[in-house]
Amino acid sequence: MERSPYCKIVFYYDSDDIIYMEPEESSFDLFSTVCYSLIFCLSVLGNSFLLWVLLRKRETKSTSDLLLLHLTASDLCFTVTLPVWAYQHLHGWIFGDWACKIISGIYFLGIYSYMLFLTAITLDRYVAVVHAVSTSAQARRRFYAILASTGIWLVCAATSIKDTVNTETKFSFDGEIRCEEASQSLAMNLFSIYFHISLFFLIPFIIITFCYVRMWMTIRHCRMRGRNQALGLLLGIVLGFFICWAPYNVVLFLASLEELHVQSVSTDEWEDVMLYGYYISHTLAYCHCCLNPLFHVFGGERFRRHLLMPCSTRRQSITSSSRPPPSVSLQTYV
């Protein structure tokens, strides 16, 4: 949701009441609308193509494909809410209170599941590359992948329920109806901020960085086909995750310092900095739904070859039928 329960910009605490200062109407509304629309188009095209490639395989899917399928569904789950938030920026909320809660629930479910599925995929690739398992263990890995996917969806659904219930339609300072979070106590607001920063950024980032660094070290000493491409893909995934989510969580942390009066700067200049940081970091964070198809379609050979024209694909299959089977590529795992 455009203003999640832990995305307030400026906080003032006075006695037993919490007063929230919301951003004023500005050209940032148009900026956000354009960015959300562009992200929506790119994400729908990329993730739909990725979903089509994964679903058209009739044979038993690997654990990597199975988790990637869930990650793609998670990205699309988040993406479908972007046009609604873009419309709200320009015209306010007109869809009613129940639609506000439902759309907010889908939004949070998409973000939370993205983080956990990306972490699960990283762990699966780490096991496949660093601790190479035997073929007999593939069935067990698939069972664990199905079990983990079910658990992730259940955990994310349960976590998003609280955010969904705490969302409502109300009048903003500019007189428009907005779909926003309800006011919370200081303790609950701080708990939401630090809980989400820890569980949905710090822990996944530490795991992802550690696993990909170990994979990088392993692949560097490997002479398998596609080594350089695999190294570039690993680097892109880590950097993309950090660029999208680090500024967003830094803004949340600074907002919590404002609420605790730890951050002593409260001038108009500082409020402007926080306002700029809010919109820019939010837009970067929303770009996460484009990273999955970007890296796997253009960075993975097995997905990129589906971009060929049907006639080219048919000709390639005919010419390759007389060739020996290709050697295993690292792209199978990364």
Q: How confident is the model over 162-186, as pLDDT tens digits?
A: 888 888 898 876 678 888 888 778 8
Handedness of CA 235, 303, 113, 181 (dihedral sign): positive
Stronger pLDDT, 312 or 167, i.e. the higher one: 167
Q: Is residue 184 part of a domain?
A: yes
∠ Cα 255 257 259 (to 5°): 75
66-88 as b/e, with b when 16 or more CB fall inside 10 Å?
A: bbbbbbbbbbbbbbebbebbbbb
In a domain? residue 279: yes
Cα three-residue angle 74-75-80, rounded to 5 degrees: 105
Average pLDDT score over residue span 120-130: 87
Domain-located, residue 319:
no
Helix 268-286 / helix 288-299 crossing angle, nearest 10 deg:
40
The whole domain housing 249 covers: 10-307
- How much is the average pLDDT of 270-289? 87
Residue 47 has pLDDT above 60, yes or no: yes
* Banded model confidence at residue 329, pLDDT cuts 50, 70, 90: very low
Rounded mean pLDDT of the chain? 78
* pLDDT score for 223: 66
Q: Has residue 321 got a pLDDT over 50?
A: no
At residue 81, the pLDDT reads 95
75 phi-psi bin (left φ>0, alpha ψ -120 to 50, beta other): alpha
Domain assignment of residue 21, yes or no? yes
Residue 315 counted as domain residue:
no
Q: Is the pLDDT of residue 80 over 80?
A: yes
- Tens-place pLDDT, residues 230-268: 777 777 888 888 999 999 999 989 888 877 776 555 566
pLDDT at 333 over 80: no
pLDDT in tens, 15-34: 344 334 444 445 778 888 99
Number of domains comprising the chain: 1
Q: What is the pLDDT of residue 63?
A: 86
Assess if residue 313 is contained within a domain.
no
pLDDT at residue 48, rounded to an integer: 93
Of 105-114, 163-172, 215-224, the poorest mean pLDDT is in 215-224
Tell me how far apart the alpha carbons of residues 13 and 18 are, in angstroms, rounded to a whole number. 5
Residue 105 has pLDDT above 60, yes or no: yes
**pLDDT by residue (tens digit) across 247-257?**
999 998 988 88
Query: In the predicted model, is pLDDT for residue 125 greater than 90?
Result: no
Q: Residue 300 maps to which CATH number?
A: 1.20.1070.10
Q: Is residue 67 part of a domain?
A: yes
Q: Please state, in angstroms and rounded to a whole number, the distance separating the CA atoms of residues 74 and 153.
A: 9
The per-residue pLDDT for 318 is: 44
327 φ/ψ angles, rounded to the nearest 5 degrees:
-75, 160
Most confident of 194-203, 217-226, 302-311: 194-203
